Amino acid sequence: MKVDRLCLKNYRNIDLVDIEFSPYVNILYGDNAQGKTNILESLFMCATGRSQRTRNDKELIQFNNQSAHISCYVSKENYQDKIDIHLKNGEKKGIAVNSIPIRRLGDLFGTINIVLFSPEDLMLVKEGPALRRRYMDIELCQLSKVYYFNLQKYYKILKERNTLLKKMVKNGSLLEDTLDVWDKQLCAYGTKLAEERKSFIEDLNLKAEKIHGDISANKESLKIEYKESVDYSNFYEKMVKNRDKDIFYGNTCVGIHKDDMVFYINGNNARDYASQGQQRTICLSLKMAEVELINEKTGAYPVLLLDDVLSELDKNRQDYILKSINNIQTIITCTGLDEITRNIGDKIKIFKVKEGKIL
């Protein structure tokens, strides 16, 4: 799977660009705030239908313009897909694959698989569980349209249940029979999602454990576990038992929306004990393991986006990444070229980005 070409119009600070990428390593270099990350963001949009930086699509449209457009051409073995995303102020974004509009975002997933590694990912270890849940959901949605469908259903039911809980604060037990209907549906979808997340983390752990050992010269061991907020084999009974508490808070206190993933270094919880260098190694191991897992599950490597992360890593970790991307289409943003070009070789295409233009 490769990105052949990307066309952007009125996207953030970009008037108009048309980029033809190398199937190997591509470098976007230039000063900060010139538009390099905007290009990677648009590619992430083509894979997930969402920005990794904002929930407000209006922010993606260039100032003083009413609309923006993204076109992305993706090669897969012996055929090519074209993804179009049209953003318009005050309207829902339009997405089409091969000129056919898609009605559900889930129909976009899998058209192109992307692994993005950005400085924000270095917070995965130390930040709260919401960031890690989002990470799991994005990666699983790329791998499984069924997971996306079940996730949408779960959160729709969760919203309805929480609305009902707030009404019950005023109306008491009169609505309890209605609550039971939502509980059974929430448990059905929640159990399926938790099983898929747990399986995903187990597969990811096996690969990340080996990669982490290679990077640390086997001086450290990494373990990733899925942390459940409830025993899903007994989910419904726990929901019933928790009803008084849920009604009191007007919120559902257990379920996949409260679960987490935990990183352990040498048996210790990395969130509490990992140094800054160890956090970086964990994130690097996680992202490279994700690349391998997607290849294993789909039969094709994803496109790897490295958004100014090499400057955050020491030479040993930089070398590991640069030596690992020989067979993977990679798009790197950076402010300087010397260190990268020395370590990659001749399979490289370089673009200078200045004020939203490719020079």
- 61-71: per-residue pLDDT in tens? 999 899 999 99
- 183-200: per-residue pLDDT in tens? 999 999 999 999 999 999
Task: Give residue 172's pLDDT.
Answer: 63
Instruction: Give 345's pLDDT tier (boundaries 50, 70, 90).
Output: low
Task: Give residue 105's pLDDT.
Answer: 87
Task: Give residue 111's pLDDT.
Answer: 93
Residue scoring higher pLDDT (261 or 180): 261
Mean pLDDT of the 284-292 span:
94
Which three-class secondary structure string do you get for the chain?
CEEEEEEEEEECCEEEEEEECCCCEEEEECCCCCCHHHHHHHHHHHHHCCCCCCCCHHHHECCCCCEEEEEEEEEECCEEEEEEEEEECCCCCEEEECCEECCCHHHCCCCCCEEEECHHHHHCCCCCHHHHHHHHHHHHHHHCHHHHHHHHHHHHHHHHHHHHHHHHHHHHHHHHHHHHHHHHHHHHHHHHHHHHHHHHHHHHHHHHHHHHHHHCCCCCCEEEEEECCCCHHHHHHHHHHCHHHHHHHCCCCCCHHHCEEEEEECCEEHHHHCCHHHHHHHHHHHHHHHHHHHHHHHCCCCEEEEECCHHHCCHHHHHHHHHHCCCCCEEEEECCCHHHHHHHCCCEEEEEEECCEEC
Mean pLDDT of the 135-157 span:
94
Task: Give residue 179's pLDDT.
Answer: 86
CB atoms within 10 A of CB 197: 22
- 157-170: per-residue pLDDT in tens? 999 999 998 888 77
Percent of the chain whose predicted confidence (pLDDT) is above 90: 69
Task: Give residue 174's pLDDT.
Answer: 61
Range scoring the smallest mean pLDDT among 79-83, 207-211, 319-323, 342-346: 342-346
Task: Give residue 247's pLDDT.
Answer: 86
Phi, psi dihedral angles at 124 (to 5 degrees): -55, -35
Task: Look over the chain and give the mean of its residue pLDDT values, rounded to a whole number.
Answer: 91
- 241-256: per-residue pLDDT in tens? 998 899 888 899 999 9
Task: Give residue 318's pLDDT.
Answer: 83
Task: Give residue 8's pLDDT.
Answer: 97
pLDDT over 70 at 316, yes or no: yes
- 92-125: per-residue pLDDT in tens? 999 999 999 998 888 999 999 999 998 888 889 9
Instruction: Give 314's pLDDT tier (boundaries 50, 70, 90).
Output: confident
- 10-67: per-residue pLDDT in tens? 999 999 999 999 999 999 999 999 999 999 999 999 999 999 888 888 999 999 899 9
Percent of the chain whose predicted confidence (pLDDT) is above 70: 97
Mean pLDDT of the 277-295 span:
93
